Amino acid sequence: MLRKNSIILYDILFIIMIHMTNGQTVKNLTAITWSHATNSQKLLNEVLSSDINFIEADIVFGYLKNDESKTQQPIMAHPPDVESDLTLESFLTQIWDFNKNTTKEKQKGIKIDFKSTDVFTNSISILNKMWNTDYEIWLNADIFSGPSNNTSTIPVDPDVFLTESNKFPNVTLSTGWTTRWGINYTEGIYTHEQVKVMIDGIKKHQKNNAITFPVRAGIAAQSIETLNHLYQSLNATNLVTFTIWSSENDNVNVENLRKMIFHFGLDKVYVDVPANLSSQLRYTNDSSRIHTKQSFVKNIMLNKKKNGKSCKVFFSQQKPFIAQI
């Protein structure tokens, strides 16, 4: 958790680091930026030439455009689409090539969302070739039915997903629940039962992978207690984080969502929500002495000129960074 007297270090290269008073350095996960549905060659090109940190994309069992034989294979598309100009294999290879040829800070992470059990099992041979990377790969799937009573979407088989992903020890698992929510929804939480099946499923398959739980903003805002139980139940065996997502126009109690984010801490929660919601979140705790990037840097620069020993200056390979208690 962020404490009032934490040392803050601003990294000009966007991955903002938080220096804690206990000497730990943690990442400000809310600063990570995302692409969405990067399911075509055009979109992939755009994202690779942008500053975005994480590439999000969907995988279905379909076929390549213009493939007369209509051979089924894992392709980048979102249901109901079943064709694409980009296969999973090409998608992963292109990002691999890109990341190999760039600096660590500029490497892109990958979050791929498997839309069915079928496409997941048919992707394993491809993943086998490309999971052991020095950049992050997240395997995402909704593996249980969730709030509020979303029984219309069939989840990916949890046993298959959790067992097979054992083959990829340092890939991050992003396991979630199907959800039903929207502009007119106000009631609904991730229930004790829904959290319990997730905990049991993960424990049963003895996963040691890092796990991030994708939770829908409007529902997560009302589920601190059960999500806390989920976190506590697994944090001894797995590195646990949350990824908050939201659909455009979802009803969200913003103040409760902020409470949820600050409850777990900026180093435990990724936030991937539409701009409108994001702009309301104010990650900076107004009542503590955490400054905005610009005013902070300016202030410390001035302080340093007045009194060289009153503040700390940190150096990285690229540029000096400034921090203060």
Which chain residues interact with ligand NAG by CB under 6 A?
4, 8, 16, 18, 28, 30-31, 101, 132-134, 136, 142, 149-153, 170, 178-180, 182-184, 232, 235-236, 258, 262, 266, 276, 283-285, 287-288, 290
Nearer to ligand NAG by Cβ, of 46 and 65: the residue is 46
* Shortest spacing between CB 9 and ligand NAG, in angstroms: 8
Residue 279: how many other CB atoms lie within 10 Å:
9
Q: Whole-number minimum distance, CB 119 to ligand NAG, in Å?
A: 15
Identify the CA nearest to 211 among candidates 280, 285, 136, 145: 136
Give min distance, CB of 258 to ligand NAG, in A: 6
Q: How far is the CB of 240 from ligand NAG (least distance, A)?
A: 9
The DSSP-derived string for 30-44 is GG--B-----SHHHH
Report the nearest approach of ligand NAG to the CB of residue 290 (Å). 5
Q: Which is nearer to ligand NAG, 291 or 304 (CB)?
A: 291
Query: Cα angle vertex 135, ends 87, 216, to 5°?
Result: 75
Residues 123-133 as b/e (b if ≥16 CB within 10 A, e otherwise) read beebbeebbeb
The candidate with the shortest Cα–Cα distance to 111, out of 16, 210, 204, is 210
Q: Which is nearer to ligand NAG, 89 or 136 (CB)?
A: 136
Taking the least distance from each CB to ligand NAG, the nearer of 33 and 70 is 33
Determine the Cα–Cα distance for residues 27 and 44; give it in Å rounded to an integer.
26
Which residue, 64 or 229, has its beta carbon nearer to ligand NAG? 229
CB of 70 to ligand NAG, least distance (A): 25
- Which amino acid, residue 24? Q
* Residue number with CB closer to ligand NAG (28 or 84): 28
What is the CA angle 188-193-197, rounded to 5? Answer: 125
Query: What is the chain's alpha carbon radius of gyration, rounded to the nearest angstrom?
Result: 21
- Residues sharing a CB contact under 8 Å with residue 279, sequence separation 6 or more, in sequence order: none
SS3 of 299, please? helix
| Residues counted in the chain | 325
CB 16, min distance to ligand NAG, A: 5
- Of 30 and 243, which has the nearer Cβ to ligand NAG? 30
